[in-house]
Structure 1
Amino acid sequence: MPNTHRRAALPAGASMRPLLLAASAAIVFAVNAAGLFAGITIVLPHLIYLPIVLAAYWFPRRGIVFSLALGLGYLAMALPFAGGEPGVIVSALSRAAVFVAVGAVVSFLTLRLREQEERYRGIFNNSEAATFLIAPDETGPRIEEANYMGTALLGSRERDLVGEPVTRFFEDPGAWEEVRARVFRDDAIYGYETSLRRTDGAAVRVLVSGGRLPDGRVILTLVDITARKNAEDALREANTRLNMLGRLTRNDLMAAVSGLLGRIGGGMQQFRDPVVRRYLDDLCEDARLVQRRAEITRDYQDLGLRPPAWQPLQEVVRGAASQLPLHEVSVRAWVERVEVFADPMLEKVFSNLIENAVRHGKTVSQVVVTYQLRDDGLAVYVEDDGVGIPEAGKEEIFAYGIGGGGGLGLFLVREILSITGMTIRETGMPGEGARFVIHVPPDGYRIV
């Protein structure tokens, strides 16, 4: 594993610790022995805390044993000088007990501290995200530490990165300033997208997250999204080209259909034979069907081309209703404060549902849009008081080629919603009105 050598490596001077510990204990006991011979029994015993604390910190798993040994050693040295006085004996025993207690507490706290350090060291070293520790400096922020993924991201080695100014790797110098400002203002930053420049000159796109540490240093985690961004750019370019091709094809098709309709109209004026006229009527209807479907594809040519966004549902419904010939049908929306994460063509969803109610509901006088919070997300209801939809047709209406207007409206409604994980179904009672239920996943809506 990368960087595992750190765990095995001993800190500088670690091999000298037993010798230093033995020397400090010997000196402290020598001083206390001299003090006892001189009749000093109060101040000098406190010096024994020094080797106890050092032992408990350097060797926490043996700290209690060492402090117990020092306590017993102190008793063996102090009791002969007690002269049988109960007060002096109790005082010596109390000091020995405190020595052991101090060693136990320091050992426990040191073990906990090292466990936490090992835990966070493991997270730092083995994280799949590139992680950097940035320290302030008089000449600017510098990299103090980097994990394996960080060195791989920048195409370098840790010893070459340590001490380097972090601004060197930001393609836009202003990006680091914005990251730093937001970290020191909000104590953290999440999902900030920017570009870095590797040591070999190659650019990488990253998502930056980070937080401020109490000592003023900054911990940064970077996720490489270069491949994802390249795929998104390629997909966007492909969609743009397909969109252009579809537009050109549709224009040619519309021109051809218009020409065909003109020739059929000329034939209707030229021929009086009922059989021929009926044949021409059928041709005209087929041509108009092609024309309607071409017009619908024009409305939906940008489907999925632009990224989804948060949209206020009340405004979306009102915008859809304002563009439709509603005649005497009223549209009421009770979805204030609700926002959904959806394709920018969400307005077409409600436009189609409302238009479908007006055209096919026969007795429709009102369309009502409401919502309900549920355990599995949000339910948006689009209801009317028309004739409803027969049980056999509740799923069929969403199929391609079914229904009026070329049969694409409700099919595309389902496609638009599915882009962000939403679903739609019809649950109304035949004869009592249609009731479309749009299910929004838990992460796809918010109340503002």
Structure 2
Amino acid sequence: MSEHSDEQPDWNAQRDRIIGLGETSYRKSYFPELQQRIRDLEKMNKELRAAYEQQTSTEAKLRHQIEENAEKEKEIRKSEERYRTLVDITQTGYLVVDMKGFVIDANDVYVQLTGRKSLDDLIGRPVSEWISPHDEERNRQAEEALLSTGYVRGLEIDYTHPDGTLQPVEINATVFRSESGDVILTLCRDITERRRRNVALQQARNKLTLLNAVTFQDIQTAAFSLAAYQELAKHVVADPKIHKYLDKQQVFLKKIVDTLDFSRNYQEMGIHPPRWQNIQQVFLFAISHLDFLNIRQDLHVDNLEVFADPLLEKVLTNIMQNVISHGVHATAVRLAYTEGNEGLRLTIEDNGVGIPIEEKNMIFDRGYGKGSGLGLFLVREVLSITGMTISENGTPGQGTRFVITVPRGAYRFTP
């Protein structure tokens, strides 16, 4: 039995002996190549291990991302279900179309608004198919605005059902942009009842306007007739005391006529939509109703337009009437404007006696003044419809200076 040795074998020496290192064998010539191959294999093994670890890490990240996406999709699905439920509860039509106007999705309420039987009748069809012919141009303009601004609000158009029935709807649409592609989200509401109420309200308003017009005309005619008889009575009766009473009656009659005129104008205020109006043209129309031959006009508002109620002419008429009635020795009126941070300031000033400081804050109150006390009150009310304000900051003894402040967006300059 051989004696056991605690010495470890020299493995490197054994490897060298096996591959022929130190020998003159033909195998000796393969050693450098084998050594290089070993190094290559070790390098490759290291790269494979690094790639494996990277792949393992990437797979873990992907699994985590997939799980997160799944949770997000679940939340989105729940949110969409809640949103759809909310929309359905409010009887609002929900529609999704692509950027060319073809239907992608819709809820049952919208299907009913179009008069179709199911969603299958809408999917892949252009919305223009059920828009009434008389609203095609308005819808086209709304589509252009939607693509330009990204949204459309309060568009009222009619849908046509397959049986020819008209369905009035209100549309609010928004462009929703995402990586998967842009779509248009639309909410539609049935406004049949609203339109019926509006028609009934307009009919009632027309009747009331007609009644007021007849009443105003009858009272005004009676007032003019009474004024004529008073003049005749002055020629018949020579008593100065009776003349004094007749003069007072004429003052009250004029106040009645002025009040009727104010009531008619106040009734018309806000009924017709505001429009763009050239200040110089409106001013010239306004003074055409007054005796303005002896008052010089200095106008510097050639290209200025403001967005105002159609009663803007009445506004300038009342201001100019104030110049004639209370300006005493006014001989000139000047119109000009300046721009500032708050918008545009239109100034109307004269060279009369002006307004006392203690009265400046009261002249626009109803009932204040030497006449009916309604002229400048109407001026303030008409201007406020489109967000304009008016004040007076002239110097007493040198003339009045009315300043109309026009907010940005409510004025423009024409070429």
TM-score, normalised relative to structure 1: 0.64
Paired amino acid for 2:311: M
Deviation at 1:252, TM superposition (A): 1.2
- Counterparts of 1:314 and 1:393, CA distance in 2: 29
2:233 to 237, 257, 267: 267
CA deviation string 1:182-224 (max 9, x = no partner): 6479735734431235799573332354559886965434355
RMSD of aligned residue pairs (Cα, Å)? 4.5
1:132 counterpart residue number: 95
Q: 1:442 to 1:113 in 2, by over 3 A?
A: farther
**337-346 vs 173-182, which moves further:** 173-182
1:282 counterpart residue number: 248
2:76 counterpart residue number: 118
Q: 1:109 to 1:358 in 2, by over 3 A?
A: farther
Deviation at 1:93, TM superposition (A): 0.6
2:257 to 291, 299, 309: 291
1:90 to 33, 42, 47: 47
Question: Quick check: 1:268–1:277 contact (8 Å CA) kept in 2?
Answer: yes
Paired amino acid for 2:168: V
CA deviation string 1:109-158 (max 9, x = no partner): 99689969939958974678643123699xxx763312577468668897
Q: 1:174 to 1:360 in 2, by over 3 A?
A: closer
Deviation at 1:361, TM superposition (A): 1.6
Q: 1:225 to 1:308 in 2, by over 3 A?
A: farther
2:152 to 180, 190, 200: 190
1:330 counterpart residue number: 296
Question: Quick check: 2:331–2:352 contact (8 Å CA) kept in 1?
Answer: yes
2:170 counterpart residue number: 206
1:362 counterpart residue number: 328
Return 5+ residue gaps in structure 1 as ranges: 1-80
Deviation at 1:416, TM superposition (A): 1.2
SS at match of 1:398: coil
Paired amino acid for 1:190: V
Q: 1:386 to 1:223 in 2, by over 3 A?
A: farther
1:172 to 105, 129, 132: 132
Quote the sequence identity (%): 29
Paired amino acid for 1:207: I
SS at match of 1:287: helix
- Counterparts of 2:98 and 2:375, CA distance in 1: 58
SS at match of 1:380: strand
Q: Which of 1 and 2 has greater Rg?
A: 2
Return 5+ residue gaps in structure 2 as ranges: 1-37
SS at match of 2:268: coil
Question: Quick check: 2:160–2:166 contact (8 Å CA) kept in 1?
Answer: yes
Question: Quick check: 1:82–1:88 contact (8 Å CA) kept in 2?
Answer: no
Q: 1:388 to 1:99 in 2, by over 3 A?
A: farther
Paired amino acid for 2:97: I
Question: Quick check: 1:143–1:161 contact (8 Å CA) kept in 2?
Answer: no
**432-441 vs 240-249, which moves further:** 432-441
TM-score, normalised relative to structure 2: 0.69
What is the correspondence of 1:8-27 to structure 2 with a 5 Å cutoff?
A: none
**214-223 vs 335-344, which moves further:** 214-223
Q: Please state if 1:351 is matched with 2:351.
A: no
1:253 to 219, 224, 229: 219
Deviation at 1:102, TM superposition (A): 7.3
Q: 1:227 to 1:412 in 2, by over 3 A?
A: farther
